[in-house]
């Protein structure tokens, strides 16, 4: 069956490289109950996922792929909707169990989707592909200075992230104009922060990294309580947020 022409408005790029596909499929967690794939498209990954012997649920906006996806074994349901508006609370109530989440993320909304996934406690493993410059913000890179940012802070608070592989444009049809990365996330059984703190922490780091090249004393000037406590701790307020390590981000958040 010939695949429909990729829809640029939906950020569609069909993965075709067999090595990349096998690496993603091999990232399977040791223990899980069901699979959710975001944006399966022409079932490039879905076929292999459906052969894992687990229930598979799909979230896809493009109805052109529905007949192709429905023909696969173990596909329980296809949600024809925008993943950004997906009701995870309702889904997890109806389908309890540990979720392995897999996606070749739409590059234009990958950050928003990643943040929404982190707040779903049933998701215990994620294997996600991003545009390289976005994906690299979610895991620590060796020998890279000044890399701390809001996405990395959230990622480290709730997961153990690691680069799975780098992906060249030629792995897709049509090829995107950028390189990609696949990142593997083991969601922490005991996260650094509870999910009750998620919204407060997200708001805090948005402020902290809103002007990452400015000195912390200026960025946090409206947070007098934090500033006073940092002064008491003799913390260097001339530093920039991007130079912090994760433990320092958490330490400053705890002062708020």
Cβ distance 50 to 72 under 8 Å?
Answer: yes
Q: How many folded domains does the chain comprise? A: 2
Q: What is the pLDDT of residue 13?
A: 74
Burial of 183 from C-beta contacts in 10 A (0-12 / 13-18 / 19+): buried
| Residue carrying the six token digits 């993320």 | 105
Positions in the chain short of pLDDT 70:
1-12
One domain for residues 33 and 117:
yes
Last residue of a domain, one of 166, 187, 208: 187
Last residue of a domain, one of 150, 166, 187: 187
Nearest to 229 by CA among 241, 217, 238: 217
What SS3 state is found at 206? helix
Query: Tokens in use for 82?
Result: 């925008």
For residue 215, the cross-strand partners are: 240
**DSSP for residue 240:** B
Burial of 234 from C-beta contacts in 10 A (0-12 / 13-18 / 19+): exposed
Domain range enclosing 221: 195-254
Query: Tokens in use for 149?
Result: 């940012």
CATH of the domain at 244: 1.10.8.100
Cβ distance 127 to 182 under 8 Å?
Answer: yes
What SS3 state is found at 110? helix
CA distance 25 to 21: 6
One domain for residues 17 and 63:
yes
Q: What is the pLDDT of residue 7?
A: 61
Model confidence pLDDT, tens digit, residues 179-219: 999 999 999 999 999 999 999 999 999 999 999 789 999 99
Query: Please, how many CA atoms are within 13 Å of residue 71, restricted to the half-sphere of its CB?
Result: 8
Model confidence pLDDT, tens digit, residues 8-32: 655 667 899 999 999 999 999 999 9
One domain for residues 19 and 144:
yes
Burial of 155 from C-beta contacts in 10 A (0-12 / 13-18 / 19+): buried
């Amino acid at each position: 069956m010939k695949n429909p022409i990729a829809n640029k408005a939906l950020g569609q790029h069909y993965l075709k490289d067999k090595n990349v596909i096998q690496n993603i499929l091999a990232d399977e967690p040791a223990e899980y109950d069901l699979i959710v794939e975001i944006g399966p498209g022409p079932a490039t990954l879905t076929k292999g996922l459906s052969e894992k012997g687990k229930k598979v649920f799909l979230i896809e906006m493009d109805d052109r792929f529905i007949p192709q996806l429905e023909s696969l074994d173990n596909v329980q349901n296809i949600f024809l909707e925008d993943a950004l508006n997906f009701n995870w609370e309702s889904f997890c109530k109806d389908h309890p169990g540990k979720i392995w989440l897999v996606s070749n993320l739409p590059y234009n909304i990958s950050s928003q989707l990643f943040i929404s996934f982190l707040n779903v406690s049933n998701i215990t493993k994620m294997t996600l592909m991003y545009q390289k410059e976005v994906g690299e913000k979610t895991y620590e890179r060796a020998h890279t200075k000044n890399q701390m940012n809001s996405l990395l802070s959230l990622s480290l608070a709730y997961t153990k992230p690691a680069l799975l592989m780098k992906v060249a444009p030629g792995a897709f049809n049509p090829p995107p104009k950028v390189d990609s990365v696949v990142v593997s996330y083991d969601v922490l059984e005991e996260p650094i922060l509870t999910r009750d703190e998620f919204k407060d922490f997200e708001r805090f780091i948005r402020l902290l990294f809103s002007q990452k090249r400015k000195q912390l004393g200026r960025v946090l000037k409206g947070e007098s309580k934090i500033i006073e406590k940092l002064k008491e701790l003799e913390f260097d307020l001339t530093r920039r947020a991007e130079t912090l390590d994760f433990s320092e981000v958490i330490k400053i958040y705890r002062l708020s």
